[in-house]
Amino acid sequence: MSRVYNFSAGPAVLPEEVLLEAQAEMLDYRGSGMSVMEMSHRGKIYDGIIKEAEKDLRELMQIPDNYKVLFLQGGAWTQFAAVPMNMMKHGKAAYIVTGQWAKKAWQEASRYGEAVKVASSEDRTFSYIPDCSDLDIPEDADYVYICENNTIYGTKFWQLPNTKGHDLVADVSSCFLSEPVDVSKYAVIYGGVQKNIGPAGVVIAIIREDLITDDVLPGTPTMLKWKTQADNDSLFNTPPAYGIYICGKVFKWLKKQGGLAAMKERNERKAAILYDILDQSRLFRGTVEKKDRSLMNVPFVTGDKELDALFVKEAEKEGLVSLKGHRSVGGMRASIYNAMPEEGVVKLVEFMKRFEEEHT
Amino acid sequence: MSRVYNFSAGPAVLPEEVLLEAQAEMLDYRGSGMSVMEMSHRGKIYDGIIKEAEKDLRELMQIPDNYKVLFLQGGAWTQFAAVPMNMMKHGKAAYIVTGQWAKKAWQEASRYGEAVKVASSEDRTFSYIPDCSDLDIPEDADYVYICENNTIYGTKFWQLPNTKGHDLVADVSSCFLSEPVDVSKYAVIYGGVQKNIGPAGVVIAIIREDLITDDVLPGTPTMLKWKTQADNDSLFNTPPAYGIYICGKVFKWLKKQGGLAAMKERNERKAAILYDILDQSRLFRGTVEKKDRSLMNVPFVTGDKELDALFVKEAEKEGLVSLKGHRSVGGMRASIYNAMPEEGVVKLVEFMKRFEEEHT
């Protein structure tokens, strides 16, 4: 077996330790005589798995008691509808559009009420985060929405917007658990797990309790009403059980690494290695404003499409894979989530230097 | 490692061969250097996996070309809303209520239009399938809905209802791929995979193409509109990728067993072993009408609650697990899906005979 360094934007690399454990338990979870895929979600063993996953997540993120943790299905895309369906009590919300995912969330919300675009960085291909210190947020807006880390463009909100007292909803799919977070600053934090936490098919939503009510928009499907799963500890119906089990293992792994403060340090160190070469290189350059750079997704280009394509191809031969950039930015993108070891980034940078020498 | 015989109603037993393969490929899928959990759903490798899964399923079920196959999320529960949202063009549908899942589907549909209960077997705890040869189906009903196999109660439609020319929608979660099916008799066949096909978190929907349109109820979330995934070969957003990969392995396994005709034979043989003892026993008896018996879920009771509990407990010691019946029926339930080997059923029956001797 030879593992590659996988820079995929998501689904993405998982800790090898986690995969080894899952492999060992595949046919017999801890003497139960069955795989976690095969067990009733109503049984004691699975109940232990999901409860422990929630407990570990609460500990990692220091989630206050007045927030519920939900394990959901349907991807962030389903929450693009669920957020307005659960929260648009006055039919209005403010959206900050910093990338394609925020834009899609805004468009979906527009189908359920007045979704006001209060800021955008689309004018320069979402290559920066707009100043959100004094936005014109409608007083009767039910919430302010952001996508905190923009996977495609490689930007991140390093300062949360001034919501002027409104509830903040954040899609954190691509920066989930990458650093400590003050949960109390948010009303809702949610994201797909397939970038930084686990296999695709699980969404984790952390929701302040007062927002979980029966007072949802008419026609909200039972499965999109947050209260449905909140009242049933995410076991209203059969959950994506195996995915949650893997997430639970990643939570344990994160605790062993020293928790989110340690992950932040490590992620900063990894990103610095990559951004340093981008700032010094004669061939490669980053595509976003320095102040807004993501620690998770690092897009870069040579400025020559053919050379970009050659880079991606040659890198693959070195076991550095999934480096092709998103079509809307072009070039390359290295996603360096929690589970990407520092040596993967070092190997990438070494290869970039060799490639630069050969092609300048 | 010692595997048990797992009679869970779902999530349920999977073929050991499938689990062994998944185990072997956990850290390195066929030389890719990564787990299927870690790969981009936009990459060539995963595209091969999902396309091949669809091809094998089409072959197994002989799905006509004018039907789309969708891999979805959110459980059957999400389809309880999606079905009316996509199909209730005239605001009316006919529901046949033969168990709790059909009832929940009917209740959810009632939120979107007039869902007429045209037949029910609730009067006798859903222990039979009502005569559906001449129901009073409203002429302007958009569809007739059934739950084809009732997991909790252990009944199955052995004859499809006379829909009087209306489209038939069937939730087949607990009989999916247990026997050959004439797909052309249905408008929509759908089900969660966690009983007979794979890990929880994937729904497969087989939908006649003319029903897949933009003409859905106002307010239908993008993710609940069937066209969203149909137009994108189930890759509109990140799919539950690992679950689909396991389903694909089960399809290959089914083909190797001889396909659905062979599975039907095997399932009939397995069920007969169990029903025979129920019909002969002085202690145990089945709970449903003989003509409506399911091949997949076999509920039975002794008539004495304490004895039932003792049976479940003692069986567990013999490695015969998850035999406790659903609370609404009580007693025991043996779910004997495709992946339950015949020897599991034989072991169960041997134990039943021993238990009967000791307790009568």
- A286 in reach of chain B (CB within 8 A): no
Regarding whether A273 and A248 lie in a shared domain, the answer is: no
**Looking at beta carbons, which residues of chain A come within 8 Å of B3?**
27-28, 33-34
Question: A328: pLDDT confidence band, cut at 50, 70 and 90?
Answer: confident
Q: At residue A19, what are phi and psi to the nearest 5 degrees? A: -65, -40
Regarding whether A264 and A230 lie in a shared domain, the answer is: no
Q: Which residues of B are catalytic?
A: 101, 171, 195
Q: Which pLDDT value is given to residue B319? A: 97
Q: Which pLDDT value is given to residue A2? A: 85
Q: Which pLDDT value is given to residue B328? A: 86
Calculate the alpha carbon distances from B332 to A39, B267, B308 in Å.
Answer: 17, 19, 7
Total number of domains constituting chain A? 2
- B334 in reach of chain A (CB within 8 A): no
CA A235 and chain centroid, separation: 23
Regarding whether A285 and A238 lie in a shared domain, the answer is: no
Regarding whether B96 and B59 lie in a shared domain, the answer is: yes
Regarding whether A340 and A204 lie in a shared domain, the answer is: no
Q: Which pLDDT value is given to residue A1? A: 57
- A40 in reach of chain B (CB within 8 A): yes
For B159, other C-beta atoms within 10 Å of its C-beta total 10
- Per-chain mean pLDDT for chain B: 97
Model pLDDT for residues B17-29, shown as the tens digit of each residue: 999 999 999 999 9
Residue A14 lies inside a defined structural domain of this protein: no
Regarding whether B228 and B100 lie in a shared domain, the answer is: yes
Residue A5 lies inside a defined structural domain of this protein: no
Regarding whether B268 and B218 lie in a shared domain, the answer is: no
Q: Residue B1 pLDDT more than 70? A: no
% of chain B with per-residue pLDDT over 90: 98
Q: How many CA atoms lie within 13 A of B187 on its CB side?
A: 17
Q: Residue B346 pLDDT more than 80? A: yes
% of chain B with per-residue pLDDT over 70: 100
Quick one: B1 exposed, middle or buried, by C-beta within 10 A (0-12, 13-18, 19+)? exposed
Residue B3 lies inside a defined structural domain of this protein: no
Chain B: give the shortest CA distance to residue A106, in Å: 13
Q: Give the residue numbers spanning the domain of B212.
A: 27-256
Distance CA A109, CA B204 (A): 27
Residue A4 lies inside a defined structural domain of this protein: no
- B28 in reach of chain A (CB within 8 A): yes
Q: Which pLDDT value is given to residue A327? A: 87
3-state helix, strand, coil split of chain A in percent (to 5) is 40, 15, 45
Q: Residue A222 pLDDT more than 80? A: yes
Q: What is the CATH number of the domain that holds A266?
A: 3.90.1150.10
Chain B: give the shortest CA distance to residue A41, in Å: 7
**Amino acid found at A77:** W
Residue B227 lies inside a defined structural domain of this protein: yes
Q: What's the mean pLDDT in B195-224?
A: 98
Q: Residue B174 pLDDT more than 70? A: yes
Query: DSSP secondary structure string, A14-80?
Result: --HHHHHHHHHTSS-STTSSS-GGGS-TTSHHHHHHHHHHHHHHHHHHT--TTEEEEEE-SHHHHHH
Residue A16 lies inside a defined structural domain of this protein: no
Q: Which pLDDT value is given to residue A187? A: 98
Q: Which pLDDT value is given to residue B83? A: 98
At A117 the three-state DSSP class reads strand
Model pLDDT for residues B291-335, shown as the tens digit of each residue: 999 999 999 999 999 999 999 999 999 999 999 999 888 999 999
Model pLDDT for residues A31-84, shown as the tens digit of each residue: 999 999 999 999 999 999 999 999 999 999 999 999 999 999 999 999 999 999
Model pLDDT for residues B229-252, shown as the tens digit of each residue: 999 999 999 999 999 999 999 999
Q: Residue B136 pLDDT more than 90? A: yes
